[in-house]
Amino acid sequence: MNDGNPVARLSTSAAAGMLLWICRTLLGALVSYPILLAIRASSMTSGPDGDSVLFQPGSLLLLELLRIGGPWLGSAAQVALLLLGLSAIFELVPLAMALDLLWLPGRSLIERLRRALRLFPKFIALGVIALLAQAALLLVASLLGAALKPALSSADERLRSIAPIALFGLGLVACAWFGGALDIARAMLVQRAEHEPSERGARAALADALICLRRRPLSVLFGLYPSVAGSAFAYLTAAWLLTRFVPTTSSSVALALGFGAHQLAVLFAIACRVRWLGAALELSAESD
């Protein structure tokens, strides 16, 4: 990594961010395409104003679209969910390329793609393990909340209401910790791709990432939390801007403003993601 050259490090971070942004934009367009076809099949946008009529104040035509085009929209939503799952799997390839770019900026794009494809099965295995572990953590938090209800039956009503929410929040924090360990394991795989035996690379990386999490839990949490909080702040700010300023503008300006606010939020969230990936590479290198 370009630790001694801030300009070079900023340029590689920007390149990694643009790679993730292009991939996410293309995959997002692919996922939304069945919904677009279903809306066109309803003939609600066949007028001279196109789909701008759906964004007029009151949303009456939008509700009418949901009533008339319900069957088409339901089928399109199922296809879109399938494409969303496939996109989440395919997005592991540009993620591996972005990690490789942040770690060693001097390689060619073709070489990065080859390395990413070699790491793709290991990334999938790590992702499945992480999903199962995070689902188990949330299930344990939910079961603990249900088990506490009889014990708190005689307690204050506010305590009975807050306790399940607090336990679920702790479960989310634990999921964030494990998600941070997952990214550290991915960083270790990228760093060890050239010299780690293929049959034990993923297993060793996950074990070392969990050791890093056990030894430095605050470093992982405080490295990951600003990125998650920054992404949430970007999307909430975009939603606030749209609800505050879009209703006072014309339909064409509203669409342009909505698209611009959404893309700015996505870019800011990706920048936060790239920042954490760089921190994960540093934690991985320190663990080695």
Question: What is the per-residue pLDDT for 18?
Answer: 93
The end-to-end CA distance of the chain, in Å, is 15
SS3 177: helix
- Alpha carbons 230 and 279: distance in angstroms, whole number: 15
**In this model, does residue 68 exceed pLDDT 80?**
no
265 and 171 Cβ atoms separated by less than 8 Å = no
Give me the torsion for CA of 165, 168, 169, 170, rounded to 10°.
130
- Alpha carbons 115 and 193: distance in angstroms, whole number: 8
**In this model, does residue 184 exceed pLDDT 70?**
yes
Query: What Cα–Cα distance (Å) separates residue 7 from each residue in 101, 268, 273?
Result: 15, 19, 19
Nearest to 184 by CA among 90, 93, 99, 94: 99
Query: Stretch 156-167: mean pLDDT, rounded?
Result: 76
Only one residue has tokens 């305590």, namely 159
Q: How confident is the model at residue 104 (pLDDT cuts 50, 70, 90)?
A: confident
Q: How confident is the model at residue 148 (pLDDT cuts 50, 70, 90)?
A: confident
What whole-number percentage of the chain has pLDDT above 90? 26
Longest dimension (CA), the chain: 66
Domain extents for the chain? 6-287
Question: What is the per-residue pLDDT for 206?
Answer: 86
Question: What is the per-residue pLDDT for 71?
Answer: 79
pLDDT digits (tens, 9 = 90+) for 228-256: 888 989 999 888 887 776 555 555 676 77
Question: What is the per-residue pLDDT for 82?
Answer: 93
Question: What is the per-residue pLDDT for 46?
Answer: 67
Question: What is the per-residue pLDDT for 243?
Answer: 75
Residues 6+ apart with CB under 8 A from 113: 93, 97
**In this model, does residue 38 exceed pLDDT 60?**
yes
Question: What is the per-residue pLDDT for 63?
Answer: 73
Query: Stretch 12-21: mean pLDDT, rounded?
Result: 91
57 and 84 Cβ atoms separated by less than 8 Å = no
Nearest to 104 by CA among 267, 275, 281: 281
Question: What is the per-residue pLDDT for 93?
Answer: 93
Only one residue has tokens 């702790």, namely 170
Is the overall model pTM greater than 0.85, yes or no?
Answer: no
**In this model, does residue 273 exceed pLDDT 90?**
yes
In the predicted model, what is the mean pLDDT of the chain? 82
